[in-house]
Every structure is written in C-alpha cells, then in structure tokens.
Structure 1
Amino acid sequence: MEHPVPPPPDSVVLRRGALSVLLPRRASLAALGLGVLAALAVVGSTLVGAGHLTPGQALNALFGEGGHNAVLLVQKFRLPRVVAGLLAGAALGLAGCLTQTLSRNRLATPDLLGVTDGATVAILVAVAGSTAGMIGDWWLGPVGAVVAGALVMLAAGGADSRGYRVLVVGLALTATVRAITDLVLTQQGLHTASAIFTWTIGSLNARGYEIAVPVGVALAVLLPLAVLAGRQLSVLRFDDDVAATLGTDLRRARMYVLAMAVLLAGLAVGVGGPIAFVAMAAPIVAGRLAGPARVPLVGSALVGGVLVVLADTLARIATEHELPVGVVTNVLGGPFLLWVLLSDKSNRRF
C-alpha cells in the first residue's frame, strides 16, 4: 500500500476532489497581509490629497454622498488615479521580480536594462509633435519595451548570456536612450517640454480608468502566467548546470520570463512613466516577507502597488504644489539602494 507523500513543512495542501493545490504557508500569509495593506492604501490615498475636502467628506463622496463637486473630485479624479498607480506599481514590482530572478542579480531591473527607457522614448516620439504635450498613447510603452529588450538580448549574445552581460548591455542602452530623450525634449516648445519632462520623471497626473482598465486586464493575464512558471523561476535561481540537470530548457525559460517582464515594464511606463526604484525595491521587500524558498511573484506585485500608491499620496500632500510621484521614489530609492549594496550577503534572496 502506497502512503501519500507528506507536504513540505512550510506548506499547506488544499484539496477538492481529485484536485489539490500546494500553498506555501509563509508566502501565502505575506500575500494576504499585503493584499489588505494594498486595499487600505487605496482607500487612504483616495480620502486625502489636495483639495478642500476633509477625509470624512471624501469618504462620503466615495459612496456617492455629498455635493456634486465632491463626488466628482473623488470618484472621477482621485480614485481612478489611485487605481492606475496601483496597477502601474504592481506591473513594475512583478517585472522587477522576473528580471532579478532571471539574472540572479538584485540590481537587474527594467530600469537598468534599458527596457523602461525604451518604452519611455517610444511614447515621447509619438507625442513629440503634439502642441498639447499630453501623454496618451500608452500602448506604445509595451512596443518600445519589446524593441529595447530585443536589442539588449541581441547585443548581449542571446538568451543564453549570463546575467552580468545583459546588465552591462542594458546600462549602455539606458544611457543611449536617455540621450535620445534629452534630444527630443530640446526640440519641443516650453509648454510641451515641461509637460513631457514631468512625465519622464514619473507622474500619475490625469491618469484614469481609460488607461487603468486595459493595463489591469493585461496584468490579470500575465500574473497567472508568471505564477504558473513558478517552478521554472525557482530553478533559474540555481547555476546553469544545476538547472539543466533538473530538466529545464534554459533558453526557452529565459525567453518566456523576459517576454513577460518586458511587457509588464512597458505597461507600467504607459501608465505613469518611468517610476524609478519600485521594480528594484518591491521584490526585495516581498522576498524578505515570503522567505527565501519561494519566488515572491504575487508579493512583489502587491508591494509594488502599495509603494506607488503611498509615494503618490505623499507627493500630493507633502508640498503646496503637487510633485511627480517619481520624485518621491527617487528620494526614497537612493537610501534603499545603499542599504541593498551594503546589506549582508547572507540575506540575499536572488
């Protein structure tokens, strides 16, 4: 008589008939807590901000009560912007988790691989001739990200390249694309250049459901695909020889993971521009919460969303004049990067 294999000590088995799901206990609890934190961050960010409304009045307006202007401000402007920020942060966090796992380097994020800047310059070229200086062609973000990702892989020698080669080529492409961005800005009028420059820092100004909905749909497809690839991602954290011994097609797995990361980064740029440091910080924080045994895919997406929502809230209330969300993430990201570089090697998750 065969005895059932007991689950790992850190996991729980959920069974329904012939189907069963193995859930890591610590990672699941961390994801649940982060989900609650994300919901609280969305509500809190919606209730505070620039304007004449108190949190109590904003709460009433959120449920459709109060004056017409109050309801319009909360339901048509604040809440859609917060939702867009949450989705952009989730896409950045998940993209960062994928690239860090792929390269086994915590500094290998879409920001440093040229993918984010490729998406940025694609959108800038599209709006360069606009007299209004409005960033509207969000769908060009994934297109530019795909082109940049393809250039990085070709220059680095293909999907079989080691992580450090991809990182070096990505840094070179980032410097080149940023020079192109500066060139585009110098050719614009003052009004257009000012609006575009604010967006290149990272801004959620005037972003709403028309952008959040398609990005949310794409994220709803890509996140489950990333979770389904969880075993391959776990194997990719090992040396190439070990991964090949375990039966993983390294080239195919890397291309699959990179494609998802590039699309996610492009979607995030299409929403809020190149919001810095979120893609690097979110997987590290999520990894500390979930433990070293798992790739924190869901946790990274939730942490990324929370970080962007909180940073945007701080940007709206910190000063009399609203700051771009990228300013806040840059200010907070510098000390975080130093902490990552100086932290003990034994604490590394990737």
Structure 2
Amino acid sequence: MLTVRRRRFALRLEWRSVIVCAVLAVALACLAVLALMTGSYQLSPGQVISALTGGETGLVHDIVVEWRLPRVTAAVVFGAALGVSGAVFQSLLRNPLADPGLIGFAEGSYTGALIVILAVNGTYWQLVGGALLGGMATAVAVYVLAYRRGVQGFRLIIVGIGVSAMLHSLNTWMILKAELEQAMSAAAWNAGSLNGVSWDQVAIGGACIAVLLLLAARLGRPMRQMELGDDAAASQGVRVSATRLWLIVVGVALTATVTAASGPIAFISLVAPQIARRLARTAGITLAPAAFVGALLCLAADYLAQHVAPTTLPVGIITVMLGGGYLGWLLFIEARKRL
C-alpha cells in the first residue's frame, strides 16, 4: 500500500493500481498524439507537440488545436466518465452486468434529450437538463419496480432491461413521427458520435464531469465498504441509504452528461470496470483504473472509427461491435461459474 499523509488528509493506494494507472496514462498520451497526427493532413509528432506547446502557428496550429484536439479531449473525458459510471453501478449492485446502458439509464437519458431535440430544438444546456431528468426518472422507475423488501442486483438488472426495451420503442416511435430533418439528426445522434464536438461542448461537459468525478472519488471508500453488504457497511459508520442515493445520482448524471454531448456510447461503462479490475487485480471495483481504461477504450474506438474503418463511422458503432463480443464472453464466464 502507498500511504500519503498531509496533516488531516490521508490517502491509501495500492501500488499495483498506481502502476496500472501510470501505464494507462502513458498509453493514453501516446494514442492521443497518434490521433492528433492522423488525418487527411498528416503531421509529425514534433509538429503536434509543438502546436500543443504554442510553438506552431497558422495551419498546423488550427488543425491540431482547433479541429482535432476537441474531439480527442472529448473522447478522453467522456470515456473516463462512462468508465466511472459503470464502476459505480457494478460496485453498487455487486454484479459485472450492471451497465447503465443495459439497465435503461442511458436509454432514459436519450429519451429526455430526444424530447428536447424534437419538441423545442433546445440548446446544449437544455439537452443536458433533458438527459439528466430522463435518466433520473428512469432510475426512479426501475428502482421502484424492482423493490421487493429491498433491491437485489439481479432483479434490478432484469427490470432495467425491460424498461430499456420499452423506452427504445418509445424513442423509435418519436423519431418516426418527427419531421424528416429532425428524425435524421436524432437517429444519427443516437449512434453516439464525436463528430462536430466543439470546445464549448467539451468545456461545459468537462466541467460537469469534473465535479461529478470529484463526488465519485469522495464516495469511493464507502462504496467499497458497501460491497461487503449493507449491515457490514453500516457497522463501519457508513450511511447506507444516503450513500446509495448519492451513488445512483452521480452514476446517472455522468451517463446523462455524456449522452447529452455525444449521444449514447454503448458498452464502455460495461467493459471498462471489468478490464480495470483484472489489470489492477483488486478485490472489488476501483474508480481510478476504470476511468483510465474507459478513456483509453473510447479514444481507441474513435480512432478506429475515423482512420481504420472503410468509411468514417460514429464511435458508438465501434464500441457496440467490440462490447458485444466482450458481453458474450462475460456471460459465458458467469454461466460457467454457476455450473
């Protein structure tokens, strides 16, 4: 364990988690430089670094800082948010399949944002508000429907899948009833894309996500204690009901913020926490490795969507392709454990 003490502040970290996060950060930086280099106008690593440090002006500066860097930054920030959101729900429900997308929260956020798009053609802040309200309303509905003298993780997942299917049908109906241009815009946005992400969206979404990540870090220790069970956590001084409520709010808000900015990007919140857990070899879900893995996966998927696919694709299509295979493997592993 690595212990850091500063007066009243004390922090304990596992050395392996620190090393894993450091390695992931280096890989993330290398992939970010590669993404900034690659495109219709190829650049060298030296040009990219010079542009980031203010040494380049003119066309190279515009390409790196104004055109490519917002997308790379959005992929990193949004991927980290999705990784932490998935880690929160998987730890809270003690189930590796507890993904906000699978249990309906992402679909509910999309429903709220879709209402804003089709009804009032709203601004980004209105999209954020609609996505957040939609996600929170879905979370409340799933929680109430799954409550039977408490909430079990498996029951909540099953109810969430059913609610997600109903919301998907509702979203499809709204798109079919909308005007052609609005329907095409909403359908393209539903694929989850970072195309056209601007610095304004990155700044607004990044500020919201930064606050939520700080709250998640604050709740990290009681979250790990609650993995031992409500009674064990309460005996250690954790306010179980309040902590669970705050964790749900933070997890849904992270998913809703990303959904409002880029549309629903599937499977990262499912895959990232489990990969991080296997890399760090921790007993439970940890937030920091999940954030780094989520950022790396989102940036890698966006790079594949832009430069490796035969044509430019939304990042959500790549994450569905990769995440679907991982979900099948995860279900196979869980089934073998029960035999």
Cα RMSD of the aligned pairs, angstroms, is 2.8
Q: Residue 15 of structure 1 corresponds to which residue in structure 2?
A: 5
Which whole-Å CA distance do the structure 1 matches of 2:104 and 2:14 have between them? Answer: 34
- TM-score, normalised to structure 2, is 0.89
1:259-290 Cα offsets, whole Å, 9 max, x none, are 11111111111122111110000000111122
Alpha carbons of 1:53 and 1:158: their partners in 2 closer, same or farther (altered >3 Å)?
A: farther
Code of the residue aligned with 1:36 in structure 2: it is V
Which whole-Å CA distance do the structure 2 matches of 1:130 and 1:251 have between them? Answer: 37
Which whole-Å CA distance do the structure 2 matches of 1:122 and 1:16 have between them? Answer: 44
Among 246, 249, 254, the alignment partner of 1:256 is 246
Q: Residue 214 of structure 2 corresponds to which residue in structure 1?
A: 224
Q: Structure 1 residue 205 and structure 2 residue 195: aligned? A: yes
Shift of 1:256: 1.7
Shift of 1:137: 4.3
Which whole-Å CA distance do the structure 2 matches of 1:274 and 1:169 have between them? Answer: 20
Which whole-Å CA distance do the structure 2 matches of 1:26 and 1:70 have between them? Answer: 39
Tell me, what secondary structure is at the counterpart of 2:312? Answer: coil
Q: Structure 1 residue 97 and structure 2 residue 87: aligned? A: yes
Q: Structure 1 residue 53 and structure 2 residue 46: aligned? A: no
Q: Structure 1 residue 297 and structure 2 residue 266: aligned? A: no
Alpha carbons of 1:159 and 1:309: their partners in 2 closer, same or farther (altered >3 Å)?
A: farther
Which whole-Å CA distance do the structure 2 matches of 1:138 and 1:41 have between them? Answer: 30
Which whole-Å CA distance do the structure 1 matches of 2:94 and 2:190 have between them? Answer: 28
Q: Structure 1 residue 277 and structure 2 residue 261: aligned? A: no
Tell me, what secondary structure is at the counterpart of 2:282? Answer: coil
Q: Residue 287 of structure 1 corresponds to which residue in structure 2?
A: 277
Code of the residue aligned with 2:187 in structure 1: it is F
Shift of 1:77: 1.8
Q: Residue 338 of structure 1 corresponds to which residue in structure 2?
A: 328
Alignment of 1:21-100 (within 5 A): 21-49=11-39, 51-55=40-44, 61-62=51-52, 68-100=58-90
Q: Residue 155 of structure 1 corresponds to which residue in structure 2?
A: 145
8 Å contact from structure 2 (residues 191, 316) kept in 1:
yes
Query: Any stretches of 5+ residues in structure 2 without a counterpart?
Result: none
Alpha carbons of 1:218 and 1:130: their partners in 2 closer, same or farther (altered >3 Å)?
A: closer
Among 298, 301, 320, the alignment partner of 1:311 is 301
Alpha carbons of 1:75 and 1:216: their partners in 2 closer, same or farther (altered >3 Å)?
A: same
Code of the residue aligned with 1:128 in structure 2: it is L
Among 103, 118, 134, the alignment partner of 1:144 is 134
Which whole-Å CA distance do the structure 1 matches of 2:296 and 2:93 have between them? Answer: 25
Alpha carbons of 1:61 and 1:345: their partners in 2 closer, same or farther (altered >3 Å)?
A: same
Alpha carbons of 1:322 and 1:55: their partners in 2 closer, same or farther (altered >3 Å)?
A: farther
8 Å contact from structure 1 (residues 202, 324) kept in 2:
yes
Q: Structure 1 residue 267 and structure 2 residue 257: aligned? A: yes
Alpha carbons of 1:40 and 1:134: their partners in 2 closer, same or farther (altered >3 Å)?
A: farther
Alpha carbons of 1:159 and 1:210: their partners in 2 closer, same or farther (altered >3 Å)?
A: farther
Q: Residue 8 of structure 1 corresponds to which residue in structure 2?
A: none
Which whole-Å CA distance do the structure 1 matches of 2:217 and 2:125 have between them? Answer: 31
8 Å contact from structure 2 (residues 91, 284) kept in 1:
no
Task: Count the aligned residue pairs.
Answer: 336
Which stretch shows the higher mean deviation, 199-208 or 238-247? 238-247
1:205-254 Cα offsets, whole Å, 9 max, x none, are 11122111122222222223222222321222224444444444332221
Shift of 1:115: 0.8
Which whole-Å CA distance do the structure 2 matches of 1:45 and 1:296 have between them? Answer: 28
